[in-house]
Amino acid sequence: MSSRHTTLYRDKQNGKLMGVCAGIADYTGVNALWVRLGFLVLAFAVFPPVIPAYFVAGFLLNKKPAELYVDQDEQKYWQRVRQSPRRTAREIRGKMRDIDRRLAEVETYYVTSNPRLSAEIERLR
């Protein structure tokens, strides 16, 4: 399932011509306007073979599935994963550690405030 979210697609819904720039924008998390402007600068000022490459990409890339993201939060999450998988994994580990710490605090509170429960846990050890 994750490979579906980390694949480059052309985005026909948000695209102007073939959806390649919109797909790159979705993939990278950059605003589509900046991707389009960058493409135009590359195409006309620096590297004219970019234009045929655009059309080749338009024909080779698959269309973005409509059900790829459930909501905006999921879209931003997968963009962060594509940009920096290690950072995203660190963030998730940090959140899990925080949840584990909070759960341990709740457990400690209930065990210390309930002597009968504390005795039962000690008997099980």
Phi-psi region of 19 (alpha: psi -120 to 50; beta: other; left: phi over 0): left
pLDDT exceeds 60 at position 1 = no
pLDDT exceeds 60 at position 106 = yes
- pLDDT tier, 98 (very low <50, low <70, confident <90, very high otherwise): very high
Q: Are residues 89 and 79 in the same domain?
A: no
* pTM of the model as a whole: 0.58
| pLDDT given at position 72 | 77
Q: Are residues 78 and 91 in the same domain?
A: no
| pLDDT given at position 86 | 85
| pLDDT given at position 5 | 67
Measure the CA angle with vertex 19, ends 18 and 24; round to 5°: 135
Residues 46-87 have pLDDT tens digits of 777 888 888 888 888 877 777 777 777 877 778 777 777 788
| pLDDT given at position 97 | 93
Q: Are residues 31 and 69 in the same domain?
A: yes
| pLDDT given at position 2 | 53
Find out whether 58 and 10 touch, Cβ atoms under 8 Å. yes
Q: Are residues 40 and 95 in the same domain?
A: no
> Cα–Cα distance between 95 and 109 in angstroms, integer?
21
Structural domain including 111 reads 85-125
Q: Are residues 106 and 122 in the same domain?
A: yes
Q: What is the number of structural domains in the chain? A: 2
